[in-house]
Amino acid sequence: MSPPSFNLGIVACGQMGTAILAGILSQDPDANAPWNVKRIFVSVQTAASVSRLQNMFAQHLSRITIYQGDNLAVAEHSHVVILGCKPALMEGILGAEGMGDALNDHILVSVLAGKTTEMTRRAISDIEGRAGRVAPRVHVVRTMPNMAAREHASMTVVSSPEDESDIEAVRVTRWLFDHVGKTHEIPESLFDLIGSLVGCSAAMFTVAVDGLLDQSVAGGLNRPAALKLVTQTLYGLAKLLEAGNHPSVLREEISSPGGSTIQGLMELDRQGVRSAYASALAVTGERAKALGSKEK
Ligand SMILES: NC(=O)C1=CN([C@@H]2O[C@H](COP(=O)(O)OP(=O)(O)OC[C@H]3O[C@@H](n4cnc5c(N)ncnc54)[C@H](OP(=O)(O)O)[C@@H]3O)[C@@H](O)[C@H]2O)C=CC1
């Protein structure tokens, strides 16, 4: 388990891993924090990605070691390992020779869609089990962050601890992801659907943004100006919701009798937008579940 000052690893440091790394590196060490990230070890597959990370984190290279294809080295040097690969690669990466030993008694944080903690544990222990060895004890924590981690504004859901021995692992994980936004614990049974809510809904909101931009441009405003206005309006909505205003109350407050807003809302209802969003989330959750199986 992790000491107060621990090494962090990120195996397969792509878009998501990089966003998390950027968030962690941008925070100054806090003497009162319960933990402190000492050194960081990351792996990627290609030389191009090594260069990308070297350029991006040039001023932190005394603290970061970047490996090309050497996931085992990351696991061996780190107390807490974030796994950031595509779901289909999980079994290959975790089942590699020596990985079980390297991760023994470590915290493994998965950001993978569809992969349950049980599947993750099994992927680590399969190879070692076949060789007739004792299965390693790895504290697996399932998470689902989102791309706003880049801007310290992720909403990350974290699976609640399954038993007492995982409580500290979940605490450490929340502390790490609090560096890139907010965290919330949910039971694992909700993960495919609610993981999709936080992981995918931003992309769905961009469709609404596009519709608003198109009509603003059709009406005569240039697209950059329209985007600036929509962005601030969305930001304002987020602030109002965060302050505790209920969406349906806000809708009523904005819709004055005989006014224009109610016409727009009724048109959205005629077009089935509300149920389209509900079913979009449902199919996203189903796809997340399928990604966890062998289905590609
Ligand atoms: N994108 C998103 O918004 C979100 C993604 N996620 C989850 O994050 C995970 C990764 O997604 P994302 O970051 O977008 O994907 P990317 O394709 O950006 O990142 C995947 C990374 O894996 C590396 N990689 C591939 N094969 C290996 C290997 N054998 N050993 C080590 N590294 C390897 C790639 O290296 P190289 O670049 O060199 O090819 C790449 O950097 C997914 O499981 C997804 O479910 C979760 C929440 C949101």
Digit-coded pLDDT (tens) for 140-191:
999 999 999 988 999 999 999 888 888 999 999 999 999 999 999 999 999 9
Boundaries of every domain in the chain? 5-186, 195-292
Backbone torsions φ then ψ of 257, nearest 5 degrees: -55, 130
- Average pLDDT, integer, range 207-234: 98
What is the rounded distance in angstroms from the CA atom of residue 247 to the CA atom of residue 98? 51
pLDDT of residue 294: 60
Whether residue 71 is annotated as binding a ligand: the answer is yes
- Average pLDDT, integer, range 125-139: 68
pLDDT of residue 130: 53
pLDDT of residue 1: 63
- Beta-strand pair 139-144/107-110: parallel
Mutate to test the pocket of ligand 1, among 44, 110, 157, 158 (most ligand atoms within 8 A of CB): 44
What is the rounded distance in angstroms from the CA atom of residue 89 to the CA atom of residue 99? 14
Lowest mean pLDDT among 24-33, 242-251, 277-286: 24-33
Residues with C-beta less than 6 Å from any ligand 1 atom: 11-17, 43-46, 49, 69, 71, 84-87, 89, 93, 111-113, 144-147, 199
DSSP-based three-state secondary structure for 24: helix
Instruction: Please report the ipTM that was assigned to this predicted complex.
Output: 0.97
- Taking CB atoms within 8 Å and a gap of at least 24, the contacts of 230-237 are 234/205, 234/209
CA–centroid distance, residue 143 to ligand 1 (Å): 14
Give the CATH superfamily of 195-292.
Answer: ProC C-terminal domain-like (1.10.3730.10)
What is the rounded distance in angstroms from the CA atom of residue 250 to the CA atom of residue 11? 43
Whole-number average pLDDT of the chain? 93
CA–centroid distance, residue 270 to ligand 1 (Å): 39
CA–centroid distance, residue 45 to ligand 1 (Å): 10
Lowest mean pLDDT among 121-135, 225-239, 245-259: 121-135
- Average pLDDT, integer, range 46-70: 97
Checking if the pLDDT of 295 tops 50, the result is no
The more confidently predicted of residues 216 and 32 is 216
CATH architecture designation of domain 5-186: 3-Layer(aba) Sandwich (3.40)
Mutate to test the pocket of ligand 1, among 10, 13, 16 (most ligand atoms within 8 A of CB): 16
Share of the chain above pLDDT 70, in %: 95
pLDDT of residue 3: 76
CA–centroid distance, residue 290 to ligand 1 (Å): 17
Checking if the pLDDT of 131 tops 80, the result is no
- Average pLDDT, integer, range 270-287: 98
Crossing angle between the packed helical segments 273-292 and 191-218, to the nearest 10 degrees = 140
